[in-house]
Structure 1
């Protein structure tokens, strides 16, 4: 695992993203959906206390049963800046992953990978630092354009930045708003979408995200007292 160092300001943070982006691996397909383990990570904030809590929930990829889970909390030490949110979240997420008693397998972030202005969102950043295969599944398309996919589960359209496809708008339930899938590290886009569909059984969001969201919110309530 690569050591994370908090940048001193926004300019340094952008320089870190630009430097680490060259280490993103884009030519691996990633683990097959439905095999091994898959881990959801998410964070929750208490802005009044400058507190952030991260959760990591490991699922069996075939059954979606919980294998292990962990949480970590800490102080928010970087300001809220669009495009730089990873710097607020990564220290706690890394700590939660390190506390897991099992290998996490593929990691699913509630956020972006390549679908980021500098092509280096949380999923890419986390992948480079840990060496794990990571994908991003977000609830909105950030600043990128897309056409509405067809109405059926599995329909998708490209998420575009100019002429570049940076991710996909993917329908995970019939006649429900799409989610936005992008590659983080060591996983292809086709495979990232296949994982997302395998993880969404009855809900719009992947089960990894739903479980991690519930756990970090519960842990935040306890940490905040």
Structure 2
């Protein structure tokens, strides 16, 4: 088993030079450390996290966009490009993406009170998607907003904004399929760390007053997709 150690910010750290088998074992070790209840302080600054790739995947490009809360005025953007250190393996994307995200977070002058991650939290076969992994590593509250289902079963929610249905894995609720715009495809919301599912869904709706995706993720996604920065 790959070692991990406590950090001074309430999270953990671990090695990144892993085989896929070691990465899966590490996910299983980290999953019980996810805090699935609200342990949030006052929300003043929230951040969207998104990752893209350049040079045919050899370079990872991460953006963290900080916005004020609740008015969501852009405050600061941090971009990091780092060599990609992990192959593309379904279910292990966080090992490919997070090293660049940690570098972008380190470049911020403001520490976010909450991370909105483009991807899954515990709605993952080993309950350790990118939002959960990043939350446990940093100790920061985090939630996941997936554009599509990674795992689990669900019934399509109603068509109205705010309608939702549980995302299930056997008898466990691992997320919610949430309609953020009337008549538009829903998103898949799940716990990342230190935020319960009800609170995560409420915050996603508050952060998505006009579009399908929450504003912090929309901003990070636009910047992560650009090549002129």
Shorter-normalised TM range = over 0.9
Q: Where does structure 1 lack aligned partners over 5 or more consecutive residues?
A: none
Q: Which residue number in structure 2 is paired with residue 94 of structure 1?
A: 102
- The question of 1:139 aligning with 2:147 is answered yes
CA shift, 1:68, in A, is 1.1
Q: Give the counterpart of 1:208 among 211, 216, 219.
A: 216
Q: Which residue number in structure 2 is paired with residue 5 of structure 1?
A: 15
Q: Which residue number in structure 2 is paired with residue 28 of structure 1?
A: 38
Q: Which residue number in structure 1 is paired with residue 25 of structure 2?
A: 15
Q: Where does structure 2 lack aligned partners over 5 or more consecutive residues?
A: 1-6
Q: Which residue number in structure 2 is paired with residue 190 of structure 1?
A: 198
CA deviations 1:140-195 (Å, max 9, x no partner) are 11122111111110010000111111000000000111000000100000000001
> After superposition, where does 1:7-156 map in structure 2 within 5 Å?
7-28=17-38, 30-31=40-41, 35-48=43-56, 50-156=58-164
The normalised TM-score by structure 2 is 0.91
Computed over aligned residues only, the root mean square deviation of the Cα atoms, in angstroms, reads 1.4
Q: What is the CA–CA distance in structure 2 between the aligned matches of 1:49 and 1:167, rounded to whole Å?
A: 29
Q: What is the CA–CA distance in structure 1 between the aligned matches of 2:26 and 2:148, rounded to whole Å?
A: 25
CA shift, 1:42, in A, is 0.4
Q: Is the alpha carbon distance of 1:31 and 1:179 closer, same or farther for their aligned partners in structure 2, counting shifts above 3 Å?
A: farther
Q: What is the CA–CA distance in structure 2 between the aligned matches of 1:109 and 1:129, rounded to whole Å?
A: 14
Q: What is the CA–CA distance in structure 2 between the aligned matches of 1:42 and 1:73, rounded to whole Å?
A: 12
Q: Which residue number in structure 1 is paired with residue 175 of structure 2?
A: 167
- 3-state SS, counterpart of residue 149 of structure 2: coil
Is residue 30–residue 191 contact of structure 1 (8 Å, CA) maintained in 2?
Answer: no
The normalised TM-score by structure 1 is 0.93
Is residue 29–residue 191 contact of structure 1 (8 Å, CA) maintained in 2?
Answer: no
Is residue 39–residue 141 contact of structure 2 (8 Å, CA) maintained in 1?
Answer: no
Q: What is the CA–CA distance in structure 2 between the aligned matches of 1:14 and 1:111, rounded to whole Å?
A: 18
Is residue 56–residue 93 contact of structure 1 (8 Å, CA) maintained in 2?
Answer: yes
CA shift, 1:27, in A, is 2.8
